[in-house]
Structure 1
């Protein structure tokens, strides 16, 4: 089959015209483990968020953090990045640890009066200007754009610059908190490819299912004050999230409000809650159904592509059509997966707010 495919005309790869082409520079030294957290109590002064956290990161680790909004994913990453200090436990950092940390609040920390080139020159003293311009070009900062102040940059441009500064720093551990929020499709693909080639460790929080599927090989679940191994894939997590929300009960009414009038008000409030959640639940169900249909179509195509006779030269056009359909369905699958998980997160967030106000 491989020999037969080699005889076919090359299909133009998707994203061939992407303006992005970059990689994370290789770290000078590496420690193993890079970071070791044991019996960690994490949170803020006066507020414990996570307890008994055990996490060891070694070179090559690829971990995705899953969990409901507000469960402590960002708290964990901030602690590992030294933006927060552990409230308890032991956190050991490797002698040669170099962290590349990306979070949305870092976009606001960029100097609005400085250009991308000046930002990079500040951390690359003595490097040739042309080398820095070439590096920034991989993030689509070219020509005059390389010299313009960040002040008027879009969120996506600021995110690209923040990633460029991280990539230049030769990290051996990447801590990424929603790195694709402001990025377009082409930049998301370029980031995915760069992470696949990265030799250090990666810990990432993201709603981008394609990024998680393409760059991680294990998951940790952050929920109910704990960080535990998650034995499943992203579809399993989506189902877990629905079940988790269904198990969350509204706060109990005060005992003094147990008369008939208050019981009637509680029933009315519950009905109003269901009514507000209903359209979001329908949207999530619709996306799940559409995703199942795409999975069935892909399974059918895979079965047809498994036929060895399809790779004979006389059936070249048929094979090309099937591969094109498969590629289009893969793109659609990624879009639906991301939309489905986002719909579930939206449903979860809305339900939490409504319950808190009930």
Structure 2
């Protein structure tokens, strides 16, 4: 197991952990959550012995192999497949020894090493690496290409594949879903759920955490708190804990006020001096309960657009791409006022290309793009963070947009994005990716756009900021087009989906689960491994198809049961209200007056009938609930 005992950890002048303790058991899948800068990545560095704690003990079993995603990828001429195989250190070590034994013509050692290689299933390593690469979106052709051919985002996928290839006891993943599309995130979820070792993952994607984790560690207020369950369970338990903490705080404040009042009133009286002194000592020894901090540090919203023409944008037979190569062809689309569109499609299908076209960063190769006269676009993309001046402050950037606005008003606005005090005038360069993303969003919000184009806006944002952005987007009065692997954001802020793929953009009639099922079916038909396909061949695909058909059948059986359960619950509510009314009458003095004799008899009879019916409904509700639970178990299994 992993144990941290009374750990203090400091980075520069900032104390990240004070007297923090934590125990993690083998096989746990732990999500680490907390605000940007709370110390999550530093804790990873501590577990990898890249950092040393200032006090306390950190214990990771010495025989454990630890895997993590490298942050740099050398521009190698070796193939992507070969690079991923390097992640299996045991395999590469045995292969190197075998080469030396063959050069020395040492038959005994050669035989021994072949036995070792068979023991670690080395002869399937290449196919396992290929399945990892396919799951992460690499084509067969791409797997043979040299590492140096790939862009930064795809190289990060190669590093992720290499970490997954490692025969690890402990896997550390820091924001693994950044640079991934929805389909690849779903594949990764399935892979991690089946991972036999101990997993620690830093993520701000609540759906990903819900799917993968068995425990959550909250890094907050310089301590570590372990919760059992996934992220949704953690939210409930944390809310309950904060509620109790606030209640204890308020009670203690009353106790402190009482003690202080006694001391103030009686410390000058000789007869009460000893008692007053004892209360001073009691006050000094009191272990203070901190007030619960539940408020988000973010408070912003989009102002209503000054104008909202309709349509905002029209595309007539547009083709767009890079150089002479079109990525999207013959697009005829219209973006209406108030539209809320999510873009779906694999990485490389053209989602970002479409957004760049709409933003005016790419010109049509053919056709016509017409924007409304009063069109005001707010465009967010990761490369825009590079346009921020590293030597200038958040306040300077905002003043460039609003040179005539009072500084205090600008400071107040930036405070809504948690830029406060000295942070407002600090240079942007040393800021984290999350802080830069917040600043870029603040600059967009200030400009009161009527069309928002957001390309992966949540990368680097912590959960609190993601939640604040979701709420702001829900109230946004203009049109919205968003590309994101954050399913919570997509589901909460968009009304329709456009699917981008095969050079076309088409409406998708369904939700994200429908899209997932459609992609699984398409990948099964094409013979490619998906999040629901191990890649082992026809038999496996047929098995998965049968399982999908069975799930559909079981879901069809669930529907009438769910409807019946709803009706029973409504009937129980009605019967309980009637029972309460009857009992209220029977508890009154009027019930036993001569004038209400017949009503009393009727009420007693009605009470008996109501109680009997409640028992019947409760029994039927239990039966239906059991049937539903059994079906749910079969569907999940």
Fold equivalence (TM over 0.5): yes
Distance 1:227 1:75 in 2: 11
- Counterpart in the other structure of 2:573: 308
- Structure 2 CA distance, aligned partners of 1:161 and 1:305? 49
Confirm or deny that 1:163 pairs with 2:441: yes
Pair 1:141–1:48, CA change in 2 (3 A): same
**Do structure 1's residue 124 and structure 2's residue 402 form an aligned pair?**
yes
Residue equivalent to 2:463 = 185
1:77 aligned residue (355, 364, 388):
355
* Residues 298-354 of structure 1 deviation map (CA, whole Å, 9 limit, x = unaligned): x79x94875535997x9xxxxxxxxxxxxxxxxxxxxxxxxxxxxxxxxxxxxxxxx
Deviation (angstroms), 1:119: 0.6
Shift of 1:240: 1.9
In the TM superposition, 1:114-263 aligns within 5 A as: 114-248=392-526
By how many angstroms is 1:241 displaced? Answer: 2.1
- 1:143-202 Cα offsets, whole Å, 9 max, x none, are 111111111111111111000000000100000001111111111111111111111000
Q: Aligned to 1:113, which of 384, 391, 397?
A: 391
Following superposition, the deviation at residue 38 of structure 1 comes to 1.8
1-structure distance, mates of 2:425, 2:522: 49
Rate the CA distance shift 1:29–1:41 in 2: closer, same or farther, 3 A.
Answer: same
- 1:68–1:241 CA contact under 8 A, matched in 2: no
Change (3 A) 1:133 1:51: same
| Residue correspondence of structure 1 range 3-82 to structure 2 within 5 A | 16-82=294-360
Distance 2:494 2:569 in 1: 27
Measured after TM superposition, the shift of residue 109 of structure 1 is 1.4
Secondary structure of the residue aligned to 1:80 is: helix
- Secondary structure of 1:235's counterpart equals helix
Name the count of aligned residue pairs.
263
CA distance in 2, matches of 1:310, 1:123: 63
Alpha-carbon spacing, 1:309–1:96, altered in 2? closer, same or farther (3 Å): same
5+ residue gaps, structure 2, are: 1-241, 244-292, 529-533, 581-637
- Would the alpha carbon gap of residues 219 and 119 (structure 1) be closer, same or farther in structure 2, given more than 3 Å must change? same
Distance 2:522 2:377 in 1: 33
Deviation at 1:248, TM superposition (A): 4.2
Give the Cα separation in 1 of the matches to 2:315 and 2:440: 27
CA distance in 1, matches of 2:569, 2:323: 58
Deviations 1:40-85 (A, max 9, x none): 1111121110112122112110000001111000000000001000
Distance 1:98 1:31 in 2: 10
For residues 256-295 of structure 1, the aligned pairs below 5 Å read 274=536
What root-mean-square deviation, in Å, do the aligned CA atoms of Structure 1 and Structure 2 show? 3.0
What is the aligned partner in structure 2 of residue 330 from structure 1?
Answer: none
Describe the shift of the 1:310–1:73 C-alpha distance in structure 2 as closer, same or farther (beyond 3 A).
farther
CA distance in 2, matches of 1:177, 1:57: 17
Q: TM-score, normalised by structure 1?
A: 0.67
CA deviation after TM superposition for structure 1 residue 27, in Å:
2.0
Q: 2:435 is paired with a residue of what secondary structure?
A: helix
How many angstroms does 1:26 deviate by? Answer: 2.3
Q: Distance in 1 between matches of 2:297 and 2:455?
A: 24
**What are structure 1's unaligned runs of at least 5 residues?**
1-10, 251-271, 315-358
**Distance change (3 Å), C-alpha of 1:51 and 1:149:** same
**Alpha-carbon distance in 2 for matches of 1:76, 1:157:** 27
Structure scoring higher RCO (CA < 8 A, sep ≥ 6) equals 1
Quick one: distance in 2 between partners of 1:234 and 1:27? 29
Partners of 2:343 and 2:461 lie apart in 1 by 20
Query: SS of 1:59's equivalent?
Result: coil
Stretch of structure 1 that moved more, 170-179 or 237-246: 237-246
When Rg is computed on C-alpha atoms for both structures, the one with the higher figure is 2
* Matches of 1:273 and 1:230, distance apart in 2: 27
